[in-house]
Amino acid sequence: MTSKLSRKDLLADALYIDGKWQQGKNTFTVTNPSTGDTVATVANASEQQVEAAIDAAHRAFQSWRHCTSEERSKKLRAWFDAIMLHQDELAEIMTLEQGKPVDEAAGEVAYGASFVEWFAEEAKRIRGDILPTIKNQQENRVIKQPIGVVGCITPWNFPNAMITRKVAPALAAGCTVVVKPPSLTPLSALALGVLAEHVGIPAGVINIVPTDDAKMFSETLCANPKVRKLSFTGSTKVGQTLMKLCSENVIKMSLELGGNAPFVVFDDADLDLAVEQLMASKFRNAGQTCISANRVLVQDSVHDAFVGKLSHAVKKLKVGDGMNKDHDLGPLINQEAVDKAHRLVKDAIEKGATCELKGGQDEHLGDLFYLPVLLTNVSAEMEISQTEIFAPVVAVQKFVSEDEGIELANSTPFGLAAYFCASSPQRIHRVSYALEAGLVGINAGAISHYMNPFGGVKQSGIGREGSHYGIDEYLEIKTLVQGGL
């Protein structure tokens, strides 16, 4: 097992290119959203350094692709072991830059590491086919080969797991990567780079280039013919822009984009279970997740009873600095997120919603802390029903019939996750098939797992991450037809 490093050893502030740590001409600041204090000043990659990272990845690809699957598997397994050995240190770094409670951050580190372990195993399971004979003296075979250099662009809300969910399958397949972590939370990614170097993943296989100029990075990456794949997690609007950029070189894409997840509670649901699972879905990372329940749709006959139980549960949540293990929710990521939550709540109330729990900002906690809000009498026309809230705000709508509930759930251009609670086997079957989403939670609010394919339909994205399907995103299928046998 790898030796233990301290949090200070893991707290890198430089670019990681071709196995070397280097500074940039400029820097940007990473701040703690709980306190406003500076956590680190990080090197800001230039266009030339992004190009250098692509070149390094391209050189490394020529040898990494020819490593045996077992060799790649062992390197990934060593990386997994190092991540889990340093779980507490990585969690503290995440909490300092992102704000989520440290126990929740530790859970994310384990979740992120699970993808490394899983794809270390999947590296040895990439298979081809020998097809049935079509002509005598001829054989037709199918093989799978790594696609090449992969660009990875990841979001701030899961700064560890969104890296590993992309990088691990890429490396397992034989690809090399250039990663742009979010400028709000780059330290978790850089810490993973420290550990990758520590366990001997070869120079150039993983390159990490933080920058606050996302436009420059995207344009540089997508214009380079050495890049053959882009994996992006973020907003639909940015994803659409990246699709246009990738079209010039016909770069293969995986996109995990915005969501507007419904959480539907039918009249035959176990209400206590429904509340428990909604809490698990809605309040993870203070509501700042792409699969967070965004629209809570409750059948009218159980609405009041459900809201009463939900209100009681929400009141128990403790908000504060994530380094305090007694706190359930940390701060929102920045002032823009706070302002958005304010705007959505204000708009809903002005249009007729009822505020069951006031919540909102608390001047005694700090500028970015936002106490949970519970709204009822919400309608589908309100902005809060059409926008990813990304805050601890619960917006409850009523519906009458099963058909109306399904129609409301599907009335969005997005289709990442959906949830519903019911008891009838027949209803569970009908609704499961009817909901338009890539992931569906049935009496379950925590649905993301390394074994489960993760991805959306409609404007929520293209492709799948995790599971045995996830590695296919980084492979090309080649048909070999051999005659003269």
**Shared domain check, 445 and 354:** yes
Average pLDDT, the chain: 97
Residue 230 CA: distances (Å) to CA of 113, 256, 337, 359: 21, 11, 27, 40
Residue 67 has pLDDT above 90, yes or no: yes
**Do 180 and 153 form a contact (C-beta atoms < 8 A)?**
yes
Task: State residue 170's pLDDT score.
Answer: 98
The arithmetic mean of pLDDT across residues 375-400, rounded, is 97
Single out the catalytic residue among 108, 290, 436, 465: 290
CA angle, residues 311, 313, 316, in degrees to nearest 5: 110
In a domain, 154, yes or no: yes
Structural domains of the chain, count: 2
- Give the mean model confidence (pLDDT) for residues 43-69: 98
The residues with which 146 forms a beta bridge, in sequence order, are: 475
Kindly provide the b/e burial profile for residues 397-410, where b requires at least 16 CB atoms within 10 angstroms of the residue's own CB.
Answer: bbbeebeebbebbe
Q: Which helix (H) or strand (E) holds 434?
A: helix 425-434
Instruction: Exactly one of 256, 356, 388, 465 is catalytic; name it.
Output: 256
The pTM of this model reads: 0.96
Within this chain, do residues 409 and 468 fall inside the same structural domain, yes or no?
no
Task: Reply yes or no on whether the pLDDT at 188 is more than 90.
Answer: yes
State the CB neighbour count (10 A cutoff) for residue 48. 11
| 289 and 240 part of one domain | no
What domain range is 368 assigned to? 261-449
Q: How would you classify residue 461: left for phi > 0, otherwise alpha for psi between -120 and 50, otherwise beta?
A: left
pLDDT tens figures, 135-174: 899 999 999 999 999 999 999 999 999 999 999 999 999 9
CA atoms within 13 Å, Cβ hemisphere of 307: 24
Same domain, 351 and 217: no
Q: How far apart are the first and last CA of the chain?
A: 49
Average of per-residue pLDDT across 38-58: 98
H or E stretch covering 315 = helix 300-315
CATH number at residue 361: 3.40.309.10
Mean predicted confidence (pLDDT) in 193-211? 98
Identity of the amino acid at 456 = G
Element holding 142 (H helix, E strand): strand 139-146
Give the contacts of 121 (CB within 8 A, at least 6 positions apart).
73
For residue 317, the model assigns a pLDDT of 97
- At residue 364 the predicted structure's pLDDT band, cuts being 50, 70 and 90, is confident
151 beta partners = 178, 230
Round to whole Å and give the CA distance between 278 and 370. Answer: 19
Shortest CA distance to 149 belongs to which of 242, 44, 224?
224
Please confirm, yes or no, whether 256 is among the known catalytic residues. yes
What Rg value do the Cα atoms of the chain yield, rounded? 23
CATH of residue 95's domain is 3.40.605.10
Euclidean distance between CA atoms 168 and 113, whole angstroms: 9
Catalytic (active site) residue 67: no
pLDDT of residue 362: 82
Is the residue at 265 inside a domain? Answer: yes
Contact between residue 287 and residue 281 where contact means Cβ atoms under 8 Å apart: no
- Assess whether 250 and 278 both reside in one domain: no
Quote the pLDDT of residue 205: 98
230/372 same-domain check: no
Please report where in the chains the tokens 């926008």 appear, as a residue: 387
What is the rounded CA–CA span in Å between residue 292 and residue 296? 11
Q: What is the pLDDT of residues 405-430, one digit of tens each?
A: 999 999 999 999 999 999 999 999 99
| Tokens of residue 16, six digits | 């990681």
What pLDDT, on a 0 to 100 scale, did the predictor assign at position 363?
76
Q: What are the phi and psi torsion angles at 44 (to 5°)?
A: -105, 110
**Residues 194 and 71 reside in one and the same domain:** yes
- Name the H helices within 86-160: 87-98, 102-122
- Residue keyed to tokens 């002509």: 135
What DSSP designation does 466 have?
A: S
Confidence of residue 134 (pLDDT cuts 50, 70, 90): confident
* 253 & 266 share domain: no
What is the DSSP pairing of strand 370-371 with strand 360-361?
A: antiparallel
Has residue 1 got a pLDDT over 60? no
Q: What is the pLDDT of residues 247-258, one digit of tens each?
A: 999 999 999 999
User: Does some domain include residue 23?
Assistant: yes
What torsion, rounded to 10 degrees, do the Cα atoms 278, 370, 93, 164 define? 40
Q: Are strands 20-22 and 26-31 parallel, antiparallel or unpaired?
A: unpaired
Look at residue 40 in the predicted model and tell me its pLDDT.
97
Same-domain pairing of 337 and 216: no
Based on the fold, state whether residues 353 and 381 are members of the same structural domain. Answer: yes
Amino acid 246: pLDDT:
97
| 381 and 466 assigned to the same domain | no
What tens digit of pLDDT does each residue of 305-361 get? 999 999 999 999 999 999 999 999 999 999 999 999 999 999 999 999 999 999 998
Percent of the chain whose predicted confidence (pLDDT) is above 90: 97
Check whether residue 253 and residue 285 sit in a common domain: no
Average pLDDT in the 430-445 region? 98
> Mean per-residue pLDDT for 395-400?
98
User: Tokens standing for 378?
Assistant: 């919400």
Dihedrals phi, psi of 72, to nearest 5 degrees: -65, -40
Percentage above 70 pLDDT, the chain: 100
Query: Looking at residue 294, what is its pLDDT?
Result: 97
Residue 474: inside a domain: yes
pLDDT above 90 for 2: no
Tens-digit pLDDT profile for residues 69-124: 999 999 999 999 999 999 999 999 999 999 999 999 999 999 999 999 999 999 99
Residue 295: both structure tokens together: 């629209």
Local structure of residue 357 (DSSP, 8 states): E
